[in-house]
Amino acid sequence: GEDVEQSLFLSVREGDSSVINCTYTDSSSTYLYWYKQEPGAGLQLLTYIFSNMDMKQDQRLTVLLNKKDKHLSLRIADTQTGDSAIYFCAESPGYSSASKIIFGSGTRLSIRP
């Protein structure tokens, strides 16, 4: 079945890089996502990676995908206080546009001054 796992908490110093890790189980996943949720708000798509890619960079965000180990990571460079949020990893198994989207439990990122 599908399962997505993440660590629950991460604390980093302002200005450092944050690395949030995720593992997933379904090898047929075609899209893998990172979403951000600020307190009291909905989910905002940060970035996604297609399964035929190893890396994707978008300004301060770098996504790395290791398909062999089913491991996904999100690196945030120069972490700022505005990056404090919960970050969700999600996978979309299969190739059909009707596929489910399965979420991890989220990683709460806190920033130390």
Partner 1 sequence: NAGVTQTPKFQVLKTGQSMTLQCAQDMNHNSMYWYRQDPGMGLRLIYYSASEGTTDKGEVPNGYNVSRLNKREFSLRLESAAPSQTSVYFCASRGQGAQRSEAFFGQGTRLTVV
Query: How far apart are CB 104 and partner 1 at their closest, in Å?
Result: 5
- Among positions 16-45, residues that touch partner 1 (CB under 8 A) are 30-31, 33, 35, 41-45
Q: How far is the CB of 49 from partner 1 (least distance, A)?
A: 9
Task: Output the smallest distance, CB 100 to partner 1, in A.
Answer: 6
User: Taking CB under 8 A as the rule, does residue 98 contact partner 1?
Assistant: yes
- Whether residue 47 contacts residue 73, with contact meaning beta carbons closer than 8 Å, is answered with no
Positive or negative CA dihedral for 4, 5, 10, 15? negative
DSSP classification of residue 67: T
Within 8 A by CB and 6+ apart from 68, the residues are none
Q: How far apart are CA 111 and CA 80, in angstroms?
A: 7
Residues that bind partner 1 (CB under 8 A): 4, 8, 30-31, 33, 35, 41-45, 48, 50, 88, 90, 92, 96-106
